[in-house]
Amino acid sequence: MDKKYVIGVDVGGQTSKLGVVDARGNVLAQSTIRTDTHDDVNLYVHDLAEAVTKLADQVGGMESIRGIGVGAPNGNYYRGTIEFAPNLKWKGVVPLAELVSTATGVPAALTNDANAAAVGEMTYGAARGMKNFIMITLGTGVGSGIVIDGNVVYGHDGFAGELGHTIQVRHNGRQCGCGRTGCLEAYTSAVGVARTAREILETTDRQTVLRDLQWDKITSRDVAEAATQGDRVALDIFEFTGKLLGEALADFVAFSAPEAIILFGGLTKAGDLIKRPVVEAMENNLLMMWKGKVKVLFSELKESDAAILGASALAW
Q: What is the pLDDT of residues 226-250, one digit of tens each?
A: 999 999 999 999 999 999 999 999 9
For the residues 86-102, what does the mean pLDDT come to? 94
pLDDT over 80 (residue 303): no
Between 125 and 5, the higher pLDDT residue:
5
pLDDT at residue 33 greater than cutoff 90: yes
Query: Which pTM was predicted?
Result: 0.85
Is the predicted pLDDT of residue 278 greater than 70, yes or no?
Answer: yes
pLDDT, residue 125, reads 87
pLDDT at 304 over 70: no
pLDDT, mean over the chain: 94
pLDDT in tens, 248-272: 999 999 999 999 999 998 899 999 9
What is the pLDDT, as a whole number, of residue 313? Answer: 87
pLDDT computed for residue 127 by the predictor: 94
Could you tell me the domains of the chain?
A: 5-119+304-315 (3.30.420.40), 130-299 (3.30.420.40)
- Where is pLDDT greater, at 300 or 103? 103
Instruction: State mean pLDDT over 287-295.
Output: 97
Q: How far apart are CA 133 and CA 118, in angstroms?
A: 9
Band of residue 167 on the pLDDT scale cut at 50, 70, 90: very high
Q: What is the pLDDT of residue 284?
A: 98
Across the range 74-82, mean pLDDT stands at 95
Checking if the pLDDT of 120 tops 90, the result is no
Buried b (16+ CB within 10 A) or exposed e, 26-58: ebebbeebebeeeeebeebbebbbebbeebbee
Determine the average pLDDT of the residues in 140-151.
94
**pLDDT tens figures, 42-58:** 999 999 999 999 999 99
**What local confidence, expressed as pLDDT, does residue 1 receive?**
60
Per-residue model confidence as pLDDT tens digits over 179-232: 899 999 999 999 999 999 999 999 999 999 999 999 899 999 999 999 999 999
pLDDT of residue 316: 86
